[in-house]
Chains A and B, each alone.
Chain A
């Protein structure tokens, strides 16, 4: 069974600084996908970034990048130049092909001016 663990219930960062959110996962599959979703106070789930496990290159989307360590089963999210609008819950998730997503328990990110 797949599991996803987020060990940081809360994190905080100063505006314009960089913060890294941690995520580890466990799966016996060789082909899978990893995701970071953002959930602002509106509670809408917004896709931040996606990584295919077969790709060695770390995914990047503007200020968001991941550090994917397949052997260690680690998938951390780095947010550069943090903005007030980045404040939200962040969920790490894993999935296979068209299968269900398994979510971590989330990290609440606060951004201070």
Chain B
């Protein structure tokens, strides 16, 4: 019974490059959430997706960040032209969307921008 999978676990990018973070939800879960944790801070919501739909992107920066959850395959968080301030841990969570909700988290992707 695999939990939420995220890859890569660690990602190093130079300023200006693109970062792609992948998230596979738990089996049977159709709701995916992305959160960002800056060093020494709590988790901050970024975006909430269901299959092929963005439900809430109120926490996403207006530029350079995008997310998708296609019909087939994992959810992708994409960061274009990364800057040092993007260095953080990015967590994906999933839920079943069937009522009383608990979000289960993946192990996170640690992004380091040099």
CB within 8 Å of B: which residues of A?
A: 33, 35, 37, 42-47, 50, 52, 91, 93, 95, 97-106
Q: How many of chain B's residues have a CB under 8 angstroms from any CB in A?
A: 27
Structural contact, A98 and B105, CB atoms closer than 8 A: no
One of B33, B89, B110 near A100 (C-beta < 8 A): B33
In the complex, A93→B45 CA distance in Å?
Answer: 11
Structural contact, B105 and A103, CB atoms closer than 8 A: no
B44 interfacial contact with A, CB 8 Å: yes
Give 7 CB contacts A-B under 8 Å: A42-B107, A44-B108, A98-B97, A100-B48, A101-B35, A102-B45, A103-B43
Given A44-B108, A45-B91, A100-B33, are A95 and B101 also a contact pair (CB < 8 Å)? yes
Q: Which residues from A are CB-within-8-Å of B95?
A: 98
CB within 8 Å of A: which residues of B?
A: 31, 33, 35, 37, 41-45, 48, 56, 59, 89, 91, 93, 95, 97, 99-105, 107-108, 110
A4 (CB) vs chain B CBs: closest residue: B42
In the complex, A47→B91 CA distance in Å?
Answer: 14
Structural contact, A99 and B56, CB atoms closer than 8 A: yes
Q: Which residues from B are CB-within-8-Å of A101?
A: 33, 35, 43, 45, 93, 103
Q: Which residues from B are CB-within-8-Å of A35?
A: 102
Q: Which residues from A are CB-within-8-Å of B44?
A: 103
One of A47, A97, A102 near B104 (C-beta < 8 A): A47
A46 (CB) vs chain B CBs: closest residue: B105
A50 (CB) vs chain B CBs: closest residue: B102
